[in-house]
């Protein structure tokens, strides 16, 4: 083949981005600089924090804007600063030091961050991505996929296991209430057996959608914690208000018409409610009490709310 023919073939060959890639490029152009957790608590690996305001503290304190539950990280370990379009990092005299790309950072001495810089705080490693980096979009999508239940598009059990301890520590630190609502779809096996598993999936999707769209507030955390089991973490919500929310959920589901392929499916839920007590040392204790209250609702005839007496 002649050189001219080779050049013609080369001219005809091009790489055309897919629509998905074009969307990612467009989204990346709008993406602010961000910090991504590379090494640390398993449930947080891949999580990212956009840097859009003037300052973000990285630390073990629940008050830190970038909160990491790892004992090697100081309560206020370092701070990310935004000044004049540049992003800098300053060590806040941390116990285990801050290291950028293998070099120790002198305390209280701002260092300008560059794209892909690695920041080590104790045993936890972050990566900095500059504004407009397409990796910001891909990393966020990957992390979200690992946190979201594929069927219902709400948080999954893994996400709940990560968020629960964080909510508990914030509740303790800020001295605000933490309530938990757990609920099951009543006789869900019967729904699957009578109407088919596709109908059961439809019920799960609709229950999740209705609650997500109408009953979830900014600080609430809603997850699918099992097959037909769901959990809400309500930070800053006392148990009396949590009971009212649970009752609204119950009546909403009871009064809704679930129709699949022309067939109406009767659906109700049983709920349990519990709140943090003064002697609790973990969020699991609250969850267990809520689960026990849920069991009492089911024993008592279902389609009802039971509040734990702590």
Active site residues: 228
Q: Which residues contact 280 (CB under 8 A, 6 or more apart)?
A: 168, 286
- Using the structure block, give the residue that is written with the tokens 């897919």: 18
SS3 call for 184: strand
* Contact (Cβ atoms closer than 8 angstroms) between residue 286 and residue 276: yes
Residue 179, SS3 per DSSP: strand
**Angle (deg, nearest 10), helices 134-147 and 19-30:** 110
Query: Which of 34, 94, 45, 100 lies closest to 68 in space, CA to CA?
Result: 45
Tokens of 71: 């004992």
Strands 118-121 and 98-100: antiparallel
Strand order in the sheet with 229-235: 220-224, 229-235, 178-185, 269-275, 305-307
Find the length of the chain.
310
Angstrom distance (rounded) from CA 245 to CA 239 = 10
Nearest to 170 by CA among 279, 63, 23, 272: 63
In the three-class reduction of DSSP (H, G, I as helix; E, B as strand; rest coil), residue 28 is classed as: helix
8 Å CB contact between 88 and 110: yes
Residue 192 CA to residue 189 CA, distance in Å, equals: 5
For the chain, the C-alpha Rg in angstroms (whole number) is: 24
């Amino acid at each position: 083949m002649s050189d001219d023919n080779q050049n013609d073939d080369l001219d005809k060959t091009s790489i055309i981005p897919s629509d998905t890639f074009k969307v990612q490029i467009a989204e990346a152009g709008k993406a602010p600089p961000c910090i991504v957790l590379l090494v640390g608590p398993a449930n947080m690996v891949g999580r990212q924090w956009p840097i859009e305001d003037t300052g973000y503290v990285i630390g073990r304190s629940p008050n830190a804007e970038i909160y990491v539950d790892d004992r090697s990280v100081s309560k206020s370990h370092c701070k990310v600063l935004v000044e004049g379009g540049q992003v800098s990092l300053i060590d806040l005299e941390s116990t285990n030091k801050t290291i950028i790309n293998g070099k120790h950072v002198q305390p209280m001495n701002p260092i300008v961050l560059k794209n892909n810089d690695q920041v080590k705080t104790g045993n936890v490693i972050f990566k900095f991505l500059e504004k407009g980096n397409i990796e910001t979009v891909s990393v966020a999508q990957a992390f979200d996929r690992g946190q979201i239940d594929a069927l219902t598009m709400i948080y999954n059990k893994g996400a709940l296991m990560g968020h629960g301890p964080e909510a508990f520590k914030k509740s303790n630190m800020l001295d605000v209430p933490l309530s938990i609502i757990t609920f099951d779809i009543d006789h869900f096996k019967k729904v699957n057996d009578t109407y088919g598993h596709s109908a059961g999936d439809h019920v799960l999707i609709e229950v999740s959608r209705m609650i997500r769209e109408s009953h979830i507030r900014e600080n609430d955390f809603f997850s699918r914690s099992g097959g037909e089991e769901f959990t809400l973490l309500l930070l800053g919500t006392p148990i009396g208000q949590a009971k009212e929310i649970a009752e609204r959920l119950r009546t909403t589901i009871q009064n809704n018409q679930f129709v699949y392929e022309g067939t109406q499916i009767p659906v109700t839920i049983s709920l349990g409610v519990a709140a943090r007590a003064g002697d609790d040392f973990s969020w699991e204790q609250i969850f267990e009490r809520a689960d026990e209250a849920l069991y009492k609702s089911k024993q008592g005839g279902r389609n009802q709310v039971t509040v734990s007496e702590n």
